Amino acid sequence: MTEVIALKKASTEYVRVYNNDQVEWLMETVLKNRFLPCPEPESIFVGDGSYQAVGAEFLGHFIRKGGLEKTSRVLDIGCGIGRMAVPLTQYLDFEKGSYCGIDPVAGGIDWCNQKLSPIYSNFEFRHVDIAHNLYNPKGAIDGLELVLPYEGNQFDFIIMTSVVTHLPDEEVSAYLREVERLLAPGGRLFMTAFVADKVAQENVAKKRDARLGFQRYDNGPCWFVPELPPLAAVGFDDGFLDRAITGAGLNTVLKSFGHWRGISSDHYQDLFVAEKDGIR
């Protein structure tokens, strides 16, 4: 079974959105829809796995674990080349729901603006020139000074999938402070990560992803994979992300460990759902 730490019961407002059968039907429909745009394989820079299958999987997680509603105003930080955006076009209400995607890689944003925005007018994409050693080394915006181009309190749901897995600890805190500014009261953050806890490190069952032999970097909370560039995969001490979320003014409502660490789980990376105080 998935190892889940539930820290706050989801409200009935979230639970009633879709029942499990409806979510499964939606995911299957998205996966089989051959008319949904899909980039050429050589253009995909957002990680392993099938573009369509991973997107459909996360749509289910957003709804069931994150409480995403059809009328939510969504911000996708690190949207890449639209892997999360494409399935969301089939769920968010065309008139009441909305999606904003940002990424430092201009090519991914260009593809989304060509393939998605002309068809789905409630979806918009922006290139934000954030510096990153791997993805955008010549970027003009220092991640430690991040201020995204949106007014505060305007998003109900913020996505950060495979973002903090490529950030140093100081930038994680900067991003989370910005998330808190942008979330409306009662809004939620959905974030994936690698938590380098005792289970992941000892790997007793020898089932941990062999590519992720994390080792600690100096005395800080970061863990890197020696064979990879430092920001190719970043893990954190268990408790660091919990404290960073709290320090940003958010409340963790779900912490669920993924199967990268060698346990049974319905998702690969570890994930966190956090909420901003207030009533939606």
Predicted confidence band at 30 (pLDDT cuts at 50, 70, 90)?
Answer: very high
Higher pLDDT residue, 156 or 5? 156
Predicted confidence band at 47 (pLDDT cuts at 50, 70, 90)?
Answer: low
CA-based nearest residue to 238, from 223, 225, 248: 223
3-state secondary structure of 139: coil
Distance CA 83, CA 105 (A): 14
pLDDT of residue 274: 98
Least confident of 47-51, 123-127, 176-180: 47-51
Predicted confidence band at 40 (pLDDT cuts at 50, 70, 90)?
Answer: confident
Predicted confidence band at 147 (pLDDT cuts at 50, 70, 90)?
Answer: very high
Predicted confidence band at 228 (pLDDT cuts at 50, 70, 90)?
Answer: very high
Distance CA 27, CA 37 (A): 16
In contact, 102 and 175? CB cutoff 8 Å: no
Distance CA 98, CA 102 (A): 14
The CA–CA distances, whole Å, from 82 to 38, 56, 86, 150, 208 equal 9, 12, 6, 20, 28
pLDDT of residue 2: 47
Q: Please report which residue ranges of 65-168 form alpha helices under DSSP H.
A: 85-88, 106-115
Pairing of the two strands 222-224 and 215-216 = antiparallel
Residue 13 pLDDT greater than 70, yes or no? no
pLDDT of residue 45: 67
pLDDT tens profile 103-140? 999 999 999 999 999 999 999 999 999 999 989 999 99
Residue 87 pLDDT greater than 80, yes or no? yes
